Structure 1
Amino acid sequence: MAGLIVKLLIYPSVLLVSDWFFADLYYPSVFHPLITGVVLALAAHFMEVAMLRPGNFWASNLTDFAAAAVIIYLSARILPGARVTLIGALLTAFFLAVTEYFQHLWLLRSGKTEKAV
């Protein structure tokens, strides 16, 4: 649950910053990156619960990167007025994957990925 809370704070923030810095990512409203960030956070959390184990750290990170790139790219098709190029989606997904790297390290080292019995 701690991972989800962190993701709900980090993902929309990274999308907002990416919207400001990258010309290849444009959301006309502040709510668009917030909505996309929440969708990404939920998807990443469920993938983390399903996949993140000590033996597949890198596979989980690569899957998070790919899923984030697809969701960000498709957000332009769903949200009115949004424009996202493939480069913008990949750059933003890369920065999200960097944050996921550190989150996954923290979750694995703290033992928070263990299933409750």
Structure 2
Amino acid sequence: MLGLIVKIFVCPITVMIAWLIFPNVEYSALYQPIIVGLILAIAAHMMEVVILRKGTFWISTIVDFIAATLIVYFVSLFQVAQVTFFGAILAAVLLSVTELAQHNWLIKSVRTQKDPNPA
């Protein structure tokens, strides 16, 4: 659950940074990258729950990159927003860098192990 809380803050901030530094990622209002970031946070957390284990670090990161690219590109269909596919890839690269750190932290803190006998 702590991973989701971290993502709820990190993903929108990362999308806002992509908006500020990449000319191919253009939003007309502040709420737009926040909404995209929150959708990314929820999707990334669900993928971590399903995929992330000790031996799947790189697989999980690659799947996160692909999903982030598609989510940023297709969810950014706001009326005045303009995100090119290349811009979505650049934003996904930034998001993947944050995911590398988060996946490493989650695996090292043993937060990815699932309890075989839940109470």
The answer to which structure has the higher helix fraction is 1
Structure 1 gaps of 5+ residues are none
Percent of residue pairs bearing the same amino acid type:
43
TM-score scaled by structure 1? 0.96
The aligned counterpart of 2:51 is 51
2:88 aligned with 1:89: yes
The aligned counterpart of 2:38 is 38
Distance 1:5 1:115 in 2: 19
The aligned counterpart of 1:98 is 97
Q: What is the one-letter code of the residue matched to 2:89?
A: L
Per the alignment, in what secondary structure is the counterpart of residue 112 of structure 1?
A: coil
Distance 2:51 2:76 in 1: 28
Distance 1:31 1:66 in 2: 23
Q: What is the one-letter code of the residue matched to 1:13?
A: I
Q: Deviations over 1:88-114 (max 9, x none)?
A: 100110010010001000000000111
Give the paired residue count. Answer: 116
Distance 1:80 1:19 in 2: 16
Distance 1:22 1:7 in 2: 21
Structure 2 gaps of 5+ residues are none
Distance 1:17 1:53 in 2: 29
Aligned Cα root-mean-square deviation (Å): 0.8
